[in-house]
Amino acid sequence: MRKEERYRRLIAYFEQAMPKAESELHYENPFQLLVAVMLSAQCTDKRVNMVTPALFKAYPDAKTMAVASVDEILAYVKSVSYPNSKSAHLKGMAEKLVSDFGGVVPDDVDKLQTLPGVGRKTANVVAAVEFNQSVMPVDTHVFRVSERIGLTNNSKTPLQTELTLEQNFPPEKIPVAHHWLILHGRYVCTARKPHCQQCGISDICRYYARKKREQER
């Protein structure tokens, strides 16, 4: 199957099966989204959603978080992964957001990456989810699913996957495609044992086709 056809059929399927795909993180504004995404690194969205209500109540904006101590922030996020470094990053992010951007989360990926603790993936998530920009955040789910299905071909790094997906998805579909791939990887195309029999795109999946050939030998 040609790559163009695979992308076209994948889009058609998810537009029908998952037309309103969105982040599972709970947030109400760009600052809260940025904080939640930073906390979600190597941590489940479920866990992050458990700690953010109290955190957001205590620190509703960058200004209030910037004047808090790392230990004060840590008290709210100690149950997430790597709480010490994340607490320090949250304080540093808030301080720089106040000093450099007037407390307003920028909608530019490069500017977002100047904030402590904000890497390319986090910046892309904020830009895509909050500002509907045509950038593709690549986490472990997106990286795995894209390669399995055949949207990418032997990508070695998240950046290679990101660039390939951005080149092949129509620009207006990229923000929602990010959610399609994450949710598909989280609930269907799981890491250890993908649920191929429950998958609605197995007919275009490179991994499934290879698996069938192996079983037929």
Decide if 61 is catalytic.
no
**DSSP structural state of residue 108:** -
> Active site residue: 3, 63, 86, 121, which one?
121
Cβ-based neighbours of 203, under 8 Å, separated by 6 or more:
none
Decide if 139 is catalytic.
yes
- DSSP of 38-85: HHTTTS-HHHHHHHHHHHHHH--SHHHHHTS-HHHHHHHHTTSSSHHH
> Active site residue: 63, 107, 111, 139, which one?
139
- DSSP of 142-178: HHHHHHHHTSSSS--SHHHHHHHHHHHS-GGGHHHHH
Positions marked catalytic? 121, 139
